[in-house]
Amino acid sequence: MGLLDQILGGLGGMSGRGAPTGRKGGGGTSRIVMSLLPIVLNMLANRQRGGMGSRGGLGGLGGLAGAGGLGALIAQMTQRGYGQQAQSWVSTGPNEPLPPQAVSEVFGQDELADIAAQAGLSEDETREGLSELLPEVVDRVTPEGRLPEQDQLLASIDDFERRLTG
C-alpha cells in the first residue's frame, strides 16, 4: 500500500501502481503530507493558491509544458536531471524515489521557501514531504501511464480533492 493509501485510510479507488515507499505514513509524516497535499494538487493543476505570489500554480514553472503544472513539473525535473524518476511516476511501472535534496534542485530555494511557508512547515520538512508525496500524487493523476489532457487532469484532481474533504 502506498503512502497516500496509508494516510487517507485506503479511500475507494485510490490504490496506486507504484511500489510502497517503505516509509510509514503515521505521526509527523502524516501531518507533513496532509499540509503539503492541497498545495501539490494546486501546483499540478496549475492553479494559484493564496500565498503563492504571481508566478502561477507551479511557481515560475506554470504553463511551461503540455498538461499545465504537471507538464511543467515533468519538464523541470527532466531539465534538472530527474527525468527518469518523473517518467517512472507517469509510467505504469514502479515509482522511483526522489531524494529530498533533489526537491531543492527541482523547485529552487525561493519556491521551496514559498511552499514551506504556505504549508506552515520547515524547509527540511517540506523537502522530505515533497520527496514522498510527489511520486504518489503524480502516479495517481496519470493512471494510463501518460500525461492526461488538461481537462482530464483537472477532473482527476477535483475528484481527489472531493474524496479528501468528503
Q: Which domains does the chain have, with CATH numbers?
A: 3-165 (1.10.10.690)
pLDDT confidence of residue 97: 95
- State the Cα–Cα distance between residues 86 and 69, nearest whole angstrom: 13
CB 72 within 8 A of CB 59: no
pLDDT confidence of residue 99: 95
pLDDT confidence of residue 165: 74
pLDDT confidence of residue 59: 46
How do residues 18-66 score in pLDDT, each as one tens digit?
A: 333 334 344 566 889 989 999 999 888 887 544 333 344 444 444 333 3
107-127 burial, b if ≥16 CB within 10 A, otherwise e? bbeebbebbbebbebeeebbb
CB 104 within 8 A of CB 111: no
pLDDT confidence of residue 5: 54
Residues of the chain below pLDDT 70: 1-29, 48-68, 166
